[in-house]
Every structure is written in C-alpha cells, then in structure tokens.
C-alpha cells in the first residue's frame, strides 16, 4: 500500500520586507523557504509505518504543489525516507486558496490510491489548518485532525489514533481507513537525513505534472476552485513596548527593578 504525504514549502519573511505591487501578498523576493515543520512529523510517521512493515509492503509518496524551486522540499523528504516525489506545477493555479490546493492533492490521491494520507496539522507560515481536512472531504474518506499518536498496520481497516485537544487533554479513538489524518508536532522525533541519503535523493527523479495532466477540470483550478480571495495584505500598526537597552548586566538590573515594581 501507499502512504501519501502532501508537503508544503513554507515561507518566512526577512526582517525588512515589502508587499507585492498589487498589495495582495508579500513580495516573494523577501521570503526564505523551508519544508513545513508539521509536515516533517507527518513524513516521519509515514516512514515509521513503512519501516515497521516487511520490506516492499509500504511505499511513501510525497507531493507538493508549487514552482520548480519547491523541488528542494521534495528532495529533503526523499532524503528522510520517502520513496517517490511528485510536484504539481502551480503555473495554472493563480489565486488558489487552501481549498483549491486541496482539490489538486485529492486528485493525486484518487490517481495514486493510497491507504492513508498524512498531512501536517497546519502550515507554519499561514496556519489555516484547512488543506488536509479539505482533502479528506473531497475524497469522501474518514478524517481526524491534530493526531498526536498513530497506530496503524498496513491492511488494517481501522487506525488507532490519539488527538490532542486544548489544555493537554487527549482523546483516544479508532478511525476507519482509508483516512486522511493531520499530524501534530511532537508525535515523533523526525530524523535528520544522512549525507549519503541526501546524495541519493539528489539523484532521484521528481515527477512533475500540471493540474490538467492529473485530470482537474477548469472549474476546480485556481480561483475557480477557491472559497475565499485575498483582498489586501497589510502590515498592522503595533505598539512596541519599552526596549531595555544596555549591557546584559544593565538589562538584568532593570529587569529586577521591573519584577520588584510589579510584585510590589
């Protein structure tokens, strides 16, 4: 069986950044990119299921939606134990929101027929927490969000999971499979890629397809398949508190004063 792990190349902003001319996003020149932290845990969970099964039983397929530069995060995933990587090019996906991206992922899942789709619980940059569960809905599969423990044997018709709730409460439950699960930080300890596996990953081919190649209709692609539209991005006016300057000794002294003032 296959486990499909959709991953996102997330952006972090430089200290000084500018908005795009149309004011609807940040200028990408000011972004640094990396594999979404939540997705590292989802990938590790998939690779652990593969390693617990007899060799050749489980194939881990990673997928991202993005431009050629996004191959970096796929190579990172290959180096950490994924078997295959697919990139759906985003050239036709202008103004796609999370739901329109989920339509792409769901279509790939329909074609690949995995037994499990494991996504990050949210992205570190935008934090919508929409994509994974939208994929589950579009596939018509069972779904659970914010999974902090996963027990699943390939071929089983249920997975036992724990989901982590507010305040540290945990619910243990059984979920029908195939299922889409979104994975919470801390479910495992993601591995580092060895130099050797990084070399091997760089030699592997990445399958690149367009949204139309995989069978998406025009009405599902980009803004047509979206449920929201970004109207405007802006930098909020934020009050900044008092910055305590000086040497560490002076800063610590001022901090002790503050503690005394507040505690009375």
Partner 1 sequence: MSGILILAEHRRGVLRDATLEAIGAAGELKGALGGPVTVLVIAADPSPFVGAVSVGAVDEVITVARPDAETFEPHVYEAVLKAVISARAPSLVLMPHSVDSFALAPAVAVGLGLGFATDVFGLAVEDGEVVATRAGYNEKVFVEIDFPGRSGVLVTLRGGAFAPATVPASPTVSALDAGEGKPRSRHLEWRDPPASGGIDIPGSPFILSIGRGVGDEANVAQFLELAEGLGATLGCSRPIADSGWLPKARQVGQSGQLAAKCNLYIAMGISGSVQHQWGMKHVENIVAINKDPEASIFTIARYGIVGDMLEIAEELRKQQGIQ
Binders of partner 1 among residues 24 to 63 (CB under 8 A) are: 26
Q: Which stretch binds partner 1 (CB under 8 A): 54-62, 82-90, 213-221, 236-244?
A: 236-244
Q: Which stretch binds partner 1 (CB under 8 A): 10-18, 58-66, 68-76, 192-200?
A: 10-18
Q: Which stretch binds partner 1 (CB under 8 A): 43-51, 60-68, 162-170, 207-215?
A: 162-170
Q: Which stretch binds partner 1 (CB under 8 A): 46-54, 69-77, 141-149, 208-216?
A: 141-149
| Smallest separation, CB 9 to partner 1 (Å) | 14
| Smallest separation, CB 180 to partner 1 (Å) | 10
Asked if 262 is part of the footprint of partner 1 (rule: CB under 8 A), the reply reads: yes
Asked if 240 is part of the footprint of partner 1 (rule: CB under 8 A), the reply reads: yes
Asked if 138 is part of the footprint of partner 1 (rule: CB under 8 A), the reply reads: yes
Figure out which of the listed residues 55, 157, 203, 232 binds partner 1, where binding follows CB under 8 A. Answer: 232
CA distances from 1 to 10, 56, 95, 187, 240 (A): 28, 9, 34, 22, 53
Which residue from 212, 7, 3 is spatially nearest to 89, judged by alpha carbons? Answer: 212
Is residue 75 a contact partner of residue 205, using CB atoms and an 8 Å limit?
Answer: no
Residues 232, 205: Cα–Cα separation, whole Å: 38
Figure out which of the listed residues 143, 150, 216, 222 binds partner 1, where binding follows CB under 8 A. Answer: 143
Is residue 24 a contact partner of residue 230, using CB atoms and an 8 Å limit?
Answer: yes
Figure out which of the listed residues 53, 89, 92, 126 binds partner 1, where binding follows CB under 8 A. Answer: 126
| Smallest separation, CB 37 to partner 1 (Å) | 10
Asked if 217 is part of the footprint of partner 1 (rule: CB under 8 A), the reply reads: no
Quick one: DSSP state of residue 12? Answer: E
Which residue from 68, 55, 82 is spatially nearest to 201, judged by alpha carbons? Answer: 82
Residues 86, 2: Cα–Cα separation, whole Å: 13
Residues 54, 207: Cα–Cα separation, whole Å: 26
Asked if 196 is part of the footprint of partner 1 (rule: CB under 8 A), the reply reads: no
Is residue 77 a contact partner of residue 84, using CB atoms and an 8 Å limit?
Answer: no
Figure out which of the listed residues 8, 58, 182, 216 binds partner 1, where binding follows CB under 8 A. Answer: 182
Residues 84, 63: Cα–Cα separation, whole Å: 9
Look at residue 62 and give its three-state secondary structure.
strand
Asked if 243 is part of the footprint of partner 1 (rule: CB under 8 A), the reply reads: yes
92-115 burial, b at 16+ Cβ within 10 Å, e below that, comes to ebeebbbbbbbbbbbbbbeebebb
Q: Which stretch binds partner 1 (CB under 8 A): 56-64, 196-204, 211-219, 233-241?
A: 233-241
Figure out which of the listed residues 15, 21, 32, 55 binds partner 1, where binding follows CB under 8 A. Answer: 15
């Amino acid at each position: 069986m296959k486990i499909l792990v959709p991953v996102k190349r997330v952006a972090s902003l430089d200290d000084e950044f500018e908005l795009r001319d149309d004011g609807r996003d940040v200028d990408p020149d000011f972004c640094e990119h990396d594999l979404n932290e939540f997705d590292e845990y989802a990938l590790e969970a998939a690779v652990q299921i593969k390693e617990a099964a007899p060799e050749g039983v489980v194939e881990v397929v990673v997928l991202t939606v993005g431009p050629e530069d996004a191959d970096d995060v796929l190579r990172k995933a290959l180096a950490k134990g994924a078997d295959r990587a697919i990139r759906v090019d985003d050239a036709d996906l202008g103004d796609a929101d999370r739901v329109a991206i989920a339509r792409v992922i769901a279509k790939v899942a329909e074609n690949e027929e995995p037994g499990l789709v494991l996504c990050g619980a949210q992205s570190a940059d935008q934090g919508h927490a929409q994509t994974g569960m939208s994929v589950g809905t579009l596939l018509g599969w069972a779904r659970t969000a914010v999974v902090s423990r996963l027990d699943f044997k390939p071929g089983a018709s249920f997975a036992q999971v724990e989901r982590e709730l507010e305040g540290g409460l945990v619910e243990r439950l059984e979920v029908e499979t195939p299922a889409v699960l979104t994975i919470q930080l801390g479910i495992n300890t993601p591995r580092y890629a060895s130099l050797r596996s990084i070399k091997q990953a760089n030699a592997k081919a990445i399958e690149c397809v367009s949204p139309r190649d995989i069978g998406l209709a025009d009405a599902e692609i980009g803004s047509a398949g979206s449920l929201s539209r970004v109207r405007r991005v802006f930098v909020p006016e934020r009050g900044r508190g008092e910055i305590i300057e000086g040497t560490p000794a002076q800063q610590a002294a001022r901090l002790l004063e503050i503690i005394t003032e507040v505690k009375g």
